[in-house]
Amino acid sequence: MNNKKTMLMLLAAFLGSTALAYARVPDQPHMDAALSYLQTAKNELKVAEHNKGGHRATAQGLVNRAITEVNRGIQYARSHNNHAVGTAAAGDQPHMQAALDALNQAKSELDQATADKGGHRANAINLVNQAIEEVTRGIAAGA
């Protein structure tokens, strides 16, 4: 019985280490998370009621632009981080990434809020999108 336990533990350790070796470690974890939140916002806007005075459609366009910028930021960082090779966070700028993540979470919440806010919700979404673009550009410039 003891031999069986030992064999099972060794097998589990081997399988676990093999799985870790093949696991993809993202080089831009916060950008990936932001992209995920933006995709969530995009999907929610897609299924929201259409009678929003054009604001839903405008928000959709801004989200799509934000997704494009995040993707461009990821690609830029990947192609311009030669100086950071070998560091633990070669692709990350933790505070800018955290700010981008927080902006995207805020935007997701705004997207889920009811639309009847006298245009202020739509204005807030626009401003958050602009902030997202600026933070993304800042990340690219700092890479």
- The domain segmentation of the chain, as residue ranges, is 27-142
What is the pLDDT averaged over residues 5-10?
66
Nearest C-alpha neighbor of 38 from the set 16, 63, 69: 63
Pair of tokens at residue 97: 């990434």
3-state secondary structure labels for all residues of 76-139: HHHHHCHHHCCCCCCCCCHHHHHHHHHHHHHHHHHHHCCCCCCCHHHHHHHHHHHHHHHHHHHH
Give per-residue pLDDT as tens, 39-54.
888 888 888 877 777 8
What is the pLDDT at residue 137? 81
What is the pLDDT at residue 91? 53
